[in-house]
């Protein structure tokens, strides 16, 4: 299949946004939203500022296209602010989570991959009890940026749904939302939006 056929259906200004699903499909680049399967968390943490920059670059054309569609400036402003906050907050909170895990003596021991994965799941699933320490308080809200990003997706889809006159287009949009939800549950990510739009 000729790739140019696909590009005919994707606005050229959205091409940078295709980087989002690309880095999620190549998780060991450590540039995606989620921690890599290799659990190379130190590399993931080192690249946090690059990850923030790439996400903002990828989201910019989405909001550029959305600007003339959303008539209420307050909704548009809130959507942009929420998206930027989630992009910035996620790696910063993850840094606290990574420090929490890697400070454990057991993590620094020589462990097979399956046991290291199990340790990561156990530690990251348990919420810190000492909320008087800022680092532990931050870790308690590690999933908040993902929830905020989910709200941004819902706002964008609702705005697009209202502007589409044709029912077939609305069904396609709802199919895209379904794909985002399934992708979020199946692969732990909700960043298929840019690819679908």
Helix axes of 144-163 and 167-186: crossing angle, nearest 10 degrees: 170
- 22-68 pLDDT, tens digit per residue, is 777 777 777 777 777 788 888 888 888 988 888 888 888 888 888 88
Average pLDDT, the chain: 77
Tell me, yes or no, if the pTM score tops 0.85.
no
* DSSP code of residue 31: -
More reliable by pLDDT, 114 or 7:
114
Nearest 5°: phi and psi at 34?
-100, 155
Q: Which pLDDT value is given to residue 180?
A: 63
Q: Which pLDDT value is given to residue 196?
A: 40
Q: What is the dihedral of CA 152, 43, 19, 170, to 10 degrees?
A: -30
CA angle (86 as vertex; 153, 197 as ends), nearest 5: 30
Q: Is residue 82 very low, low, confident or very high in pLDDT (cuts 50, 70, 90)?
A: very high
- 161-196 pLDDT, tens digit per residue, is 888 888 877 887 777 677 666 555 444 443 444 444
Q: Which pLDDT value is given to residue 7?
A: 55
Q: Which pLDDT value is given to residue 89?
A: 92
């Amino acid at each position: 299949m000729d790739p140019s056929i696909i590009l005919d259906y994707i606005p050229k200004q959205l091409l940078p946004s295709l980087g989002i699903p690309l880095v999620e499909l190549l998780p060991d680049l450590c540039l995606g939203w989620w921690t890599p399967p290799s659990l190379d968390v130190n590399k993931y943490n080192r690249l946090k500022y690059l990850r923030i920059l790439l996400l903002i670059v990828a989201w910019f054309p989405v909001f550029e296209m959305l600007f003339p569609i959303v008539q209420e400036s307050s909704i548009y402003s809130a959507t942009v602010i929420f998206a930027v906050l989630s992009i910035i907050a996620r790696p910063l909170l993850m840094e606290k989570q990574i420090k929490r895990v890697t400070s454990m003596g057991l993590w620094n021991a020589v462990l097979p991959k399956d046991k290291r994965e199990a340790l990561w799941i156990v530690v990251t699933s348990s919420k810190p009890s000492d909320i008087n320490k800022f680092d532990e308080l931050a870790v308690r809200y590690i999933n908040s940026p993902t929830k905020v990003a989910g709200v941004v997706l819902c706002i964008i889809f609702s705005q697009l749904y209202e502007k589409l006159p044709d029912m077939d287009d609305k069904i396609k949009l709802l199919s895209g939302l379904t794909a985002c939800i399934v992708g979020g549950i199946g692969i732990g990510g909700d960043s298929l939006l840019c690819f679908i739009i």
